Chains A and B, each alone.
Chain A
Amino acid sequence: MKMRYLKDVVSLELSTETCVGCGQCLEVCPHGVFELADGKCRIADRDACMECGACARNCPVKALKVKNGVGCATGILNAALGRSSGCCGEKQACCSGEDECESETEEKGGTMDARTRELIAIGASVAAHCQPCLAYHAEKGKEAGLTESEIREAISVGQMVEKGSADAMKEFAAGIFAAEAKSQKTPDCCKSSTPAGKSCCS
């Protein structure tokens, strides 16, 4: 027997214009909420939705939106009282202490907007010499609305940091014998004898 929870209460939203009819939501939904009709996804059984967020997380074009959370009274009451809750059982999805978490469709993150985050990631990718990271974040940056010149600038900032670090390394390497000579006199180099600007030999 298929049980359904309350009528017309879930926050599931589908943008039919955006939907490309790939069927990924049909694949991940644990309650058969969706069906495909005329090459588009359709919400066939809205009341069966439990707001787990699997569809929104896996929709490649972000056509689905759901305020995902856990349908657990203990968790919701605890959150309302400012306590974090334990998992109340075994098979359920109840264990997140948070009252609710916005789904990925809203792009989770802190106080920064997506563009800033991607700019930082682009710069860091360059400095970290991570080619796949750079390709990935450049693409995500474009999605987030960055222009090509902005991405170029972030790359050059990363390169500047990288160059700075290379110079500092060169200087450090040149001074290594001097530091060694010093450290022989004072074996515990991590105390006061570390020259300013040089890293501790740990």
Chain B
Amino acid sequence: MNSGRAAGRKNDMNGSFINGYVDTECCRVPRVSTELTWRDRLGGIAMRWDFGRDRYLVEPGLYAAGAPGPGAPVLVSANYKLSFDALRRELGSTDAWILVLDTKGVNVWCAAGKGTFGTDEVVRRVEATGLARLPGNPVLIIPQLGAPGVSAGEVRKKTGFRAVFGPVRAGDIPAFLAGGMKVVPGMRDVKFNLYDRLAVVPVEMVQRFWVTVMIMVLFFLGAGVGPEKYSLAFRRWPLIAVAVWSNFLAGIVITPALLPWLPGRAFALKGAAMGLLTGALLWLGSGYGLFEGSAVLLMSLAACSYLGLMFTGSTTYTSASGVRREIAWALPLQIIAAAAGVALWIAARWLPGGVL
């Protein structure tokens, strides 16, 4: 069938992990290496830093890992190369088929939420790859995080294949298979530990970098407003730069890292706590006067609270209803705090003892 073609080497990225072929009654199935090369790892790092995310795809189709015999399971995966690489790396010496769905280069969970990793795509891909002609009527193992998009019952009904949900993490698959496809406690739950939280940070940093530069430039320009015009503005610039990038780091890196220990459940609140701390440190460290100092405090509060709220999208446990509720009260307060901070920062120049 077309799976041989599916894995055709249109580009190096696809060819680099194919190290042979497994011949079956239905077709020639490309076999993938279960070891990652330095290029795979480099590509993974690049993804974390938001380089070329749109092009990091694997051709959808059927692949083999090891030497799958009759009855070897079919592991269903997405065609985001980072997901696919994680799967083949974790398989080690496991013999299995891998069915890569066309999720437009999006990981399993995101794609399941969108519906591209869905029942219809599973059915379509099973048919297109001629899976029915594989020996021994294999079981389809769908990653548990595919469940928002895939109904195992419907897949069973429409394809005739038995479909079960596997563990959340690819790393648990060998144990899952060895244990007779039994899920043990801990395989079902999504965690969000320090590593998980920090893994999503680089993308946020890259995506917010230029906005932050623009905000800094606006503050540089704003520094010249006032009775002394720009004669003193340049003296304020270093402190402005420090304040802007401190908030960038506090809101984007430190809030996620300290997430479980920051007060409250709402992310805007957790961020606000971080902002208060950042603002207070900036005030103390800079020797700002009362007005300018409170202005920095207000603006840090707004910035970190906003960045905290924006981090909801990178987490694994926030609900849309919750985020909507939080936006409703937090966003107006953030805007008010930011506006008050900017106003006070400018007004301080006309106030006695206001500016440094």
> Residues on A close to B: CB < 8 A?
1, 3-7, 9-11, 24, 27-32, 48-55, 57-58, 60, 67-77, 87-96, 99-101, 104, 136
How many A-B pairs have beta carbons closer than 8 Å: the answer is 180
Q: How far is the CB of A121 from chain B (nearest CB, A)?
A: 13
Interface residues contributed by chain B, number (CB under 8 Å): 59
Which residue on A lies nearest to B149, using beta carbons? Answer: A57
Residues of B within 8 A of A89 (CB): 200, 203-204, 313-314
The answer to whether B192 touches A3 (Cβ under 8 A) is yes
The answer to whether B314 touches A88 (Cβ under 8 A) is yes
Which residue on B lies nearest to A77, using beta carbons? Answer: B327
Query: Bound state CA distance, A96 and B112, in angstroms?
Result: 10
Q: How far is the CB of B283 from chain A (nearest CB, A)?
A: 28
A71-B149 contact, Cβ under 8 Å, with A30-B190, A88-B314, A94-B110: no
Residues of A within 8 A of B172 (CB): none
Cβ of B24 within 8 Å of any chain A Cβ, yes or no, is: no
Q: List 26 A-B contacts (CB under 8 A).
A: A5-B318, A7-B265, A10-B319, A10-B321, A27-B183, A30-B188, A30-B189, A30-B190, A48-B317, A49-B319, A58-B152, A67-B320, A71-B312, A71-B317, A71-B318, A73-B267, A73-B310, A76-B323, A91-B107, A91-B199, A92-B109, A93-B148, A94-B113, A96-B110, A100-B320, A136-B157
Q: What's the dominant secondary structure at chain B's contact region?
A: helix
CB-CB nearest 5 A-B residue pairs: A72-B313, A69-B320, A71-B318, A54-B147, A89-B314
Query: Bound state CA distance, A136 and B123, in angstroms?
Result: 14
A73-B327 contact, Cβ under 8 Å, with A89-B203, A96-B114: yes
The answer to whether B314 touches A92 (Cβ under 8 A) is yes
Indicate the member of A9, A58, A90, A100 with the most B CB atoms within 10 Å.
A90
Query: Bound state CA distance, A24 and B326, in angstroms?
Result: 31
Cβ of B48 within 8 Å of any chain A Cβ, yes or no, is: yes
The answer to whether A74 touches B310 (Cβ under 8 A) is yes
| Residues of chain B from 207 to 264 with CB closer than 8 A to chain A in the complex | 207, 259-260
Query: Which of B82, B153, B313 has a CB less than 8 Å from the CB of A71?
Result: B313
The answer to whether B312 touches A73 (Cβ under 8 A) is yes
Q: How far is the CB of B294 from chain A (nearest CB, A)?
A: 27
Query: Which of B109, B312, B321 has a CB less than 8 Å from the CB of A91?
Result: B109
Q: How far is the CB of A47 from chain B (nearest CB, A)?
A: 8
Residues of A within 8 A of B10 (CB): none
Query: Bound state CA distance, A50 and B189, in angstroms?
Result: 12
A31-B315 contact, Cβ under 8 Å, with A6-B266, A71-B323, A73-B323: no
Query: Bound state CA distance, A73 and B316, in angstroms?
Result: 13
The answer to whether A52 touches B113 (Cβ under 8 A) is yes
Query: Bound state CA distance, A41 and B265, in angstroms?
Result: 27
- Digitize B95-114: 1 where CB-to-A-CB distance is under 8 Å, 0 elsewhere: 00000000000110110111
Residues of A within 8 A of B168 (CB): 30
Residues of B within 8 A of A11 (CB): 321
- Digitize B117-151: 1 where CB-to-A-CB distance is under 8 Å, 0 elsewhere: 00000000000000000000000000011011111
Residues of A within 8 A of B39 (CB): none
Query: Which of B110, B183, B192 has a CB less than 8 Å from the CB of A93?
Result: B110
Residues of A within 8 A of B324 (CB): 76
